[in-house]
Amino acid sequence: MKTLLVLAQHPDLAEALRAGLNPEQYRILLRSSVDEAEPLLASGLANACIVDVELSSVQDVWFFEKLHRRAPKIPIIIYAGAKQWEWEEEAYLHGATYVLTKPVRIRMLSALLDRLWQGPGSVPRHLPTPGTGTELIAKPPEAPAAPVTPSATSQALSVLRDFSAILTHSLNA
C-alpha cells in the first residue's frame, strides 16, 4: 500500500482522492502545512506528496522548495486551480514532478501514480521544462531515410489528428 500525503488548507482534495482512488492501493493522509507533515516526511512514511495550491505567488514557489528540501526523494504532484506557465516552470525547477489542474481526474492521476512506481528508468523523475523541445516525446529508433512526399505528410497529420481526438488532453496542452 502506498501512502499519499496531501498538503492542503481545505480537505476537499483529500476527500476527492479518497473517493476516487482504490483504498486497498492508496492510503491518503491530510496535513495543512509542511511543518505539520514534518514527522511523516522525516520518517519516510509518505510515498508521494500531493499539494493543493494556487500558482500565483512567490510564497507558493518557496513552499515547493521547502518541501523538496525536506523530502528530496518524494515525488511532488501539484494541483492548481489554473496554471500559468511561468509558475509551472518554477514549480518544476523547485522539485515538482507533475503540475495538474483541478478538477481532479482520477484516471489521469492513477496513471501518473502508476508511472511513478514502475521499474527504475521507465519514467524520468522530473518532466523537462517547457520549451526545451523534448517534452514527452520519445525519440524514435533510427530508420533509413525515405523521401517525404506531400501526401505522406498529410496522411501522417490526418492520423495524428484522429489520434489526438481520442485523448482527454489536446496535444497542444
CATH number at residue 67: 3.40.50.2300
Domain that holds residue 111: 2-116
Distance of alpha carbon 168 from alpha carbon 45, whole angstroms: 33
pLDDT per residue as tens digits for the range 56-89: 555 666 777 778 788 888 898 988 887 777 778 8
48, 59, 90, 146 from 44: Cα distances, Å: 10, 25, 25, 52
Q: Which residue is it, cell 525536506?
A: 70
Distance of alpha carbon 73 from alpha carbon 67, whole angstroms: 11
Strand order in the sheet with 26-31: 26-31, 2-7, 48-53, 76-80, 98-101
What's CA 168's distance to the chain center, in Å? 15
Amino acid at 171: L
pLDDT per residue as tens digits for the range 125-173: 444 444 444 444 444 445 555 555 566 666 766 666 666 566 544 445 5
Beta bridge partners of 56: none
**What DSSP designation does 173 have?**
-
What is the pTM for the complete model shown?
0.63
Question: Is residue 75 domain-resident?
Answer: yes
Number of domains in the chain: 1
Question: Is residue 128 domain-resident?
Answer: no
Question: Is residue 42 domain-resident?
Answer: yes
Question: Is residue 124 domain-resident?
Answer: no
What confidence score (pLDDT) does residue 6 get? 92
Q: Which one, of 97, 86, 30, lies nearest residue 55 by Cα?
A: 86
Question: Is residue 170 domain-resident?
Answer: no
